[in-house]
Amino acid sequence: MSFWPGGRNIAAVGVYLLCLLVPLSLAQTASARSLPDFTELVENNSSAVVNISTTTEPKAGGNRSRALPFDERQLEQLPDFFQDFFRGPQSPFGGGQGGGAPRQSMGSGFIVSSDGYVLTNNHVVEGADEIIVRLNDRRELPAKLVGTDPRSDMAVLKIENGDDLPVVRVGSSKDLKVGEWVLAIGSPFGFDYTVTAGIVSAVGRSLPSENYVPFIQTDVAINPGNSGGPLFNLDGEVVGINSQIYTRSGGFMGVSFAIPIDDAMNVFQQIRDKGAVSRGWLGVLIQEVNRDLAQSFGLKRPRGALIAEVMSGSPAEEAGLKAGDIVLEYEGEDVTLSSDLPPMVGRTPVGETASLEVMREGEQITLDVEIGKLPEEGGEPASVPASGNNGPSSSPLGMTVEPLPDDVRNSLEISGGVLVSDVAQGPALNAGIRPRDVITELNRRPVNSVEEFREAVASLPDDSAVSVRVVRQGRAIYLVMKP
């Protein structure tokens, strides 16, 4: 009996469909088998992951009757509705003002030595008067704070009376590849030993608040309470410490950041052995090199860290680095983005000599610099003797400049320049130059007076991008202008 056009019978159709479905089923099975199995990794490492709860005695008012499932800093990232819920007078976690009850919060961490050293985030234990570490066998052990490093948001704890405790295996973050699988164990919202997995989205990320940490970016689900917990690779080695998320809602949105374990262990060893962390310091203000700046400085493509300012008395000044130099390599390692340079310098031991490959006036030179110690509050800007100026001037660039007043020169601690008094439509406005900017360099020529500014303008090339060094609100920056 025929049911199909062309005389095909139902048996033949069945065989045909079976031939199609079997390869598809086998392909799906093979695909499923290629996905990683995390069960053994979790079983082998959960015992070394800990939940950290802290108690902070009230300093001035406040009331908490139960532990928050995360720390105060993470609470501030949540939408106002959730903040009102957790802080309000009707909250099950207490609230209101003047109650005087201790404030409690929670986070995560992991044990790195059998005698009880624990790594976590600084913001998990910041200001805590009591720290309790809970293991997955439900033991609760008191811990003391050994030291912190707010710059990397790290803290080191020591479990009191710790002996023969389970430990994680520490790997290396420098071997991480974008796209490889990683796994996190922590206590999001107080749910102990929650496991989430994903891939490495990027490495070497620089965040505005952390210049000395080249973060690992992942899409692993991280939420308040995960902070301080470990990030594992498929070999069961810790490669990072989950630290921050990028969010507009207060919860996970697919972008999370971890401190690389190589940097974390360096901080840990310094805190354990010395009680404090010291970082290398160059003493420069840097900025990104975009396409236009690369063209104006004679680079074939955007790369490196452009030095906008060299601080007075800094290692950079002593080594001969100048504003306008572009650092292309540090100790033989390429500086692709400006954000690459601070972690490289920060990891260099104080007193060591580092070799820098620098682009200066179209030529590559090598400079050796003895790395100094990063000051607690950073360095001071350069200050050199002042020089004179002469009459005001307008230019075909669409701006009017005038001599730099002594009070402005002294307040900015610069040797010279010209003050932009007016900006009209034209190249200057398009470049981002604004009134009250101070121009100290045009097309890599120093500008200490209006006359020098006129000469620099007269010598500008046609139809070519040129760099302009501007001091604005006490900070130097390079802009690109196209005459």
Candidates 171, 231, 172, 229; CA nearest to 201 is: 231
CB 268 within 8 A of CB 440: no
Report how far residue 478's alpha carbon sits from residue 170's, in angstroms, rounded to the nearest whole number. Answer: 42
DSSP state for residue 460 in the 8-state scheme: P
**Can 123 be counted among the known catalytic residues?**
yes
DSSP state for residue 320 in the 8-state scheme: T
- For 330-375, the DSSP string reads ETTEE--SGGGHHHHHHHSPTT-EEEEEEEETTEEEEEEEE-EEPP
Which residues neighbour 307 within 8 Å (Cβ) at sequence distance 6 or greater? Answer: 284, 285, 286, 316, 321, 322, 323, 324, 325, 326, 327
Residue that the structure tokens 């005001």 belong to: 392
CB 303 within 8 A of CB 335: yes
Catalytic option among 227, 243, 296, 314? 227
Catalytic option among 123, 152, 256, 314? 123
Length of the chain: 483
Report how far residue 225's alpha carbon sits from residue 420's, in angstroms, rounded to the nearest whole number. Answer: 51
Catalytic option among 53, 105, 152, 153? 153
Q: How far is CA 215 from CA 153, 182, 221, 449, in A?
A: 12, 14, 16, 44
Core vs surface per residue 337-376: b (16+ CB within 10 A) or e: ebbbbbbbbbbbeeeeebebbbbbeeeeeebebebbebee
Q: Which two tokens stand for residue 175?
A: 């071997």
Report how far residue 376's alpha carbon sits from residue 379's, in angstroms, rounded to the nearest whole number. Answer: 9
Burial degree of 97 (CB within 10 A; 0-12, 13-18, 19+): exposed
**Can 65 be counted among the known catalytic residues?**
no
**Can 153 be counted among the known catalytic residues?**
yes
Report how far residue 158's alpha carbon sits from residue 116's, in angstroms, rounded to the nearest whole number. Answer: 5
Report how far residue 406's alpha carbon sits from residue 372's, in angstroms, rounded to the nearest whole number. Answer: 33
Q: What are the catalytic residues?
A: 123, 153, 227
